[in-house]
Chains A and B, each alone.
Chain A
Amino acid sequence: MPFISKIERQTDYSQFDSTVPIVIDNGGSYFRIGWAGEDEPRVIFRNIVQRPRHKTTGETVTVVGDHNPALLRYFDCTRSGPRSAFDGNVVYQFEIMEYILDFGFDRLGADQSQIDHPVLITECACNPIQSRCRMAELLFESYGVPSIAAFGVDAAFSYKYNQQLGICNSDGLAICSGFMTSHAIPFINGEPAYEACCRTNVGGYHVTDYLKQLLSLKYPHHISKLTWEKVEDLKMEHCYIAPDYTSEVRIFQKGAKEAEEKTRCWQLPWTPAPAEEQPSEEELARKAALKERQGQRLREMAEAKRSSRINELENDIRGLEFLLKQLKQVEENNVPAFLRETGYASKQEIESNLAKAIQSLRKAKGEQVETEEKMDASMADKYNLVNVPDDVLTPEQLKEKRKQLFLKSTTEARQRAKQKRIEEELEREKQMKMEEEKRLENPERYLEDLRAKYRELSEKVEQRKRLKTNGNNTNGNQNGSGGVGRGERLNAAQRERMRLLTTAAFDRGKGEDTFGIKDEDWQLYKLMSRDNDDEEDEKSNEDEADLARVSSRLREIDPTFFPKSESGSSTAEPPRFRPLTKEDFQLILGVERFRCPEVLFQPNLIGIDQSGLDEMAGVSIRRLPCKNQGLEERITKSILMTGGSCQYPGMAGRLEAGIRMIRPCGTPITVVRASDPSLDAWRGASVYAAAMQFPNQTFSRTDYYEKGEDWLRRYQFNYTL
């Protein structure tokens, strides 16, 4: 949809003399301003205001309407979103309204000291008096407008314009679907009958919002591409109204060819990842050779180290043996002196060092370490004291005994552990052999069993993981859902924690908080601690270990097996073991094309409990003050659809079918669309303002101040001049 705003500054302001009125159509979506009597409004822009800060200078500026986003990159728009002066279809924020009027008048070319023209401005049907008064004040005070004939209803202007064009008659019904609301207003003799008017609070905004939410939920990855403007474009281009929702939806459900034709696909820009070239044969060979060489080098280094260590040890041993031999030869008296020279304290020390060196040599050479037998041999004399009863021993010997007991029990425990390990090994080997046998007899069934077991285990593990992290795993994308704590259901463990906390903190009304005085109160935290989920952890660890084993087994024997990747977060994420393809970047609009505008006819779909457009027509006719058959027939013969949100293809047919259901059989029903649903309101107002009798319908500043609010409440004007 093209960018339809027109914001060129007009240069011919001075050529219009003071009696020419300025016509403003103040709509929920667009603001249109121009001169009376002309065919098109001079300036059109979206009725929103932004107040971003300039990135370098830091000043806050006001930007009215929608602009080229490229220009807005100099501003920091994150803190201020676009704001509208409307709440529903009523203006309530007059500061924003003032900015908008400023901009509008500025672009119209105003440059004198005040706006010296009468102003005709539109409002919603049955506008609250407050809003009307404030608007009148704004115009009179800030802009110095001499008179206003404010406050014509936009739908009425549109109807009158089309009546002049001959599209509808003087008795009829206008169904106006706007941005935030939709109205059904009957006309009797050319005047709107407000007592029979009917309003539902759904409009184009709700349709766009619904479409935006549905697409964001369906394609969470592309959420950044789904801006409000883009979704509006999509809506205007692709949405249509189905003549009957249920039958249309059934076509889609069956998946018929018709449904395929009706589905539209939006391809986002996408660059394929550069395909990895298969390294050629020689590349592979070269790499393998390189690896070989490296391996070889490492092995040589290890060898060298080992041999040098062996040499060292051998030298040590030789030296020590030599020392011992010398010691033997030396005489008794010279022993201490000799020992002092060598640096060892006694003969035993030398001997023990020697023994150690011999052992390490043996280990380096790769022989079995024979500690076990040594242990057994010395066990007998080490634990000699254990079996001796206590009362026979001296205190020192008692100490000895305790030490020996301790040593004995630890060595026994170590041996038992080793024994158990050996048993387990044997057990596992037996199991493996059995499985192998089973596999060899019936490979197919074995594979099936294994796959089934894998599936079970993986489901269990995933479910436990999901329970644990439920609610804690919000992606960064979902910032639209507002707040962290709102709307998240607590799982069982969290609920339990909350319950404990609240009971502990509950003030029993005596004014003093007695939690913590007793020591037992603090045990509460142990119960609540997240780390204390022992039982669950054990089970889950077991399951995970089983899962790992089964999956490795499957990988060995089953060529078609794919391990399920660990994606703990939402299943909306595609598993990442395949590269992103073109299809991932396609947004498909199938059922959404007609589901979203259906909201206008069934506001229940978004939870608004009011009638849709077709029923509104019925309600409006029912509310007519004078009931006569002829009038109703005349009304249904000329039903006009107007307003920006009535341009969906298929709307006329649907509306007609809907109204036919409510009216008595055989009544003539004609539904026509306005010649230009968006601009007709302005055009009607312009024609009205250019008419001769217009000044009779206006009120001036003095009027307003004399007669006051009450008079303004009763102020309505005649649409037929």
Chain B
Amino acid sequence: MEAEVVEAEIVLPTHLNFKRVQMYEKYPKGQARGRHWKHLKQIIQAENYQNYPPDEPNYVNIESPPPMHPCKRICDITGFEAPYFDPRTKLRYANAEVFKVIRSLPNDYVQRYLALRNAAVVLK
């Protein structure tokens, strides 16, 4: 290791005195590590919240509901108000100049703009 790296101590040392079980013992090299951690969705599923009374607050039922206000439509490119909608690319636009820009965008830009709004078509 280079001198300045050692001095700055940015690397985590492998053996720490205060630990009962060291990392390298717990996760020996070569084993597939980290693949067995459950993601949030799986954790929630495993919790079985439906077995408990619904009044009790738990991770799922404190989520907020969809909004009451109507959705505000803004132009995907400029951020202005967008009364218009392009059926071919499915982008919202504010005026004719923005429309020209939209129609001249290559396809991957269009998909990225849609992805901002979570409206892109994802082919799995």
Chain A positions near chain B (C-beta within 8 angstroms): 9, 54, 57, 61-64, 67-68, 71-72, 74, 87-88, 90, 92-96, 98-99, 102-103, 105-106, 110-115, 125-131, 141-144, 184, 194-195, 197-201, 210, 213-214, 217, 245-246, 249-250, 252-253, 470-471, 473-474, 478, 480-481, 485-489, 569-572, 591-592, 595, 602-612, 615-616, 619
Determine whether the beta carbon of A246 is less than 8 Å from that of B81: yes
Closest B residue by C-beta to A98? B23
Residue among A128, A210, A608 with most chain B CB within 10 A: A128
Determine whether the beta carbon of A92 is less than 8 Å from that of B66: no
19 CB contacts below 8 A, A to B, read: A63-B10, A92-B38, A92-B43, A102-B23, A114-B18, A128-B44, A141-B21, A142-B19, A197-B57, A199-B62, A250-B81, A470-B107, A478-B112, A480-B112, A571-B104, A572-B109, A604-B72, A615-B64, A615-B69
By a CB distance below 8 angstroms, the chain B residues around A253 are 80-81, 94
Complex formed: what's the CA distance from A602 to B4 in Å? Answer: 47
Determine whether the beta carbon of A74 is less than 8 Å from that of B5: yes
Query: Beta-carbon contacts of B37-57 to A below 8 Å, as 1s and 0s?
Result: 111100110110000000111
Contact of B106 among A61, A112, A473 (CB under 8 A): A473
Determine whether the beta carbon of B12 is less than 8 Å from that of A610: no
With both chains docked as a complex, state the minimum distance between the C-beta of B22 and any C-beta of chain A, in angstroms: 9
Complex formed: what's the CA distance from A605 to B64 in Å? Answer: 16
Complex formed: what's the CA distance from A245 to B16 in Å? Answer: 53
By a CB distance below 8 angstroms, the chain A residues around B117 are 605-607
Determine whether the beta carbon of A607 is less than 8 Å from that of B67: no
By a CB distance below 8 angstroms, the chain A residues around B108 are 471, 474, 478, 481, 487-488
Contact of B47 among A57, A130, A603, A608 (CB under 8 A): A130
By a CB distance below 8 angstroms, the chain A residues around B119 are 607
Closest A residue by C-beta to B49? A128
In addition to A195-B55, A195-B57, 11 A-B residue pairs with Cβ atoms within 8 Å of each other are A110-B16, A184-B64, A246-B81, A249-B79, A253-B80, A470-B106, A487-B111, A570-B105, A570-B106, A591-B80, A604-B72
Complex formed: what's the CA distance from A103 to B122 in Å? Answer: 39
Given A62-B11, A214-B116, also A142-B21 (CB < 8 A): yes
Complex formed: what's the CA distance from A253 to B122 in Å? Answer: 33
By a CB distance below 8 angstroms, the chain B residues around A488 are 107-108, 111
With both chains docked as a complex, state the minimum distance between the C-beta of B7 and any C-beta of chain A, in angstroms: 10
By a CB distance below 8 angstroms, the chain B residues around A126 are 57-59, 62
By a CB distance below 8 angstroms, the chain A residues around B27 are 95
By a CB distance below 8 angstroms, the chain B residues around A115 are 18
Contact of B37 among A92, A143, A608 (CB under 8 A): A92
Determine whether the beta carbon of B67 is less than 8 Å from that of A128: no
With both chains docked as a complex, state the minimum distance between the C-beta of B97 and any C-beta of chain A, in angstroms: 11
Closest B residue by C-beta to A593? B79
By a CB distance below 8 angstroms, the chain A residues around B43 are 90, 92, 128, 130-131
Contact of B74 among A61, A96, A249, A569 (CB under 8 A): A249
Complex formed: what's the CA distance from A473 to B109 in Å? Answer: 11
Query: Beta-carbon contacts of B78-95 to A below 8 Å, as 1s and 0s?
Result: 111100000000000010
Given A93-B37, A471-B107, also A610-B20 (CB < 8 A): no
Question: Chain B: how many interface residues by the 8 Å CB criterion?
Answer: 68
Complex formed: what's the CA distance from A198 to B113 in Å? Answer: 30
Closest A residue by C-beta to B88? A489
By a CB distance below 8 angstroms, the chain B residues around A71 are 4-5, 8, 10
Given A111-B18, A194-B57, also A95-B37 (CB < 8 A): yes
Complex formed: what's the CA distance from A535 to B57 in Å? Answer: 68
Determine whether the beta carbon of A595 is less than 8 Å from that of B74: yes
Determine whether the beta carbon of B63 is less than 8 Å from that of A610: yes
Residue among B18, B43, B44, B123 with most chain A CB within 10 A: B18
By a CB distance below 8 angstroms, the chain A residues around B39 are 87, 92
By a CB distance below 8 angstroms, the chain B residues around A57 are 1
By a CB distance below 8 angstroms, the chain B residues around A63 are 10-12
Determine whether the beta carbon of A606 is less than 8 Å from that of B8: no
Residue among B69, B80, B115, B117 with most chain A CB within 10 A: B69
User: Is the CB of B68 closer than 8 A to any CB of chain A?
Assistant: yes
By a CB distance below 8 angstroms, the chain B residues around A610 are 63-67
Determine whether the beta carbon of B64 is less than 8 Å from that of A200: yes
With both chains docked as a complex, state the minimum distance between the C-beta of B66 and any C-beta of chain A, in angstroms: 5
Closest B residue by C-beta to A95? B34
Complex formed: what's the CA distance from A111 to B16 in Å? Answer: 8
With both chains docked as a complex, state the minimum distance between the C-beta of A59 and any C-beta of chain B, in angstroms: 9
Contact of B65 among A68, A245, A607, A619 (CB under 8 A): A619
Complex formed: what's the CA distance from A130 to B120 in Å? Answer: 34
By a CB distance below 8 angstroms, the chain A residues around B47 are 128-130
Closest B residue by C-beta to A110? B18
Closest B residue by C-beta to A124? B59
Closest A residue by C-beta to B12? A62
Complex formed: what's the CA distance from A125 to B64 in Å? Answer: 13
Given A102-B12, A481-B112, also A143-B62 (CB < 8 A): no
Contact of A607 among B16, B104, B105, B118 (CB under 8 A): B118
With both chains docked as a complex, state the minimum distance between the C-beta of B84 and any C-beta of chain A, in angstroms: 14
Determine whether the beta carbon of B116 is less than 8 Å from that of A210: yes
By a CB distance below 8 angstroms, the chain A residues around B111 are 481, 487-488
Complex formed: what's the CA distance from A105 to B71 in Å? Answer: 47
Contact of B18 among A143, A197, A595 (CB under 8 A): A143
Determine whether the beta carbon of A61 is less than 8 Å from that of B123: no
Closest B residue by C-beta to A592? B79
Determine whether the beta carbon of B74 is less than 8 Å from that of A619: no
Contact of B17 among A99, A103, A113, A125 (CB under 8 A): A113
User: Is the CB of B28 closer than 8 A to any CB of chain A?
Assistant: no
With both chains docked as a complex, state the minimum distance between the C-beta of A16 and any C-beta of chain B, in angstroms: 14
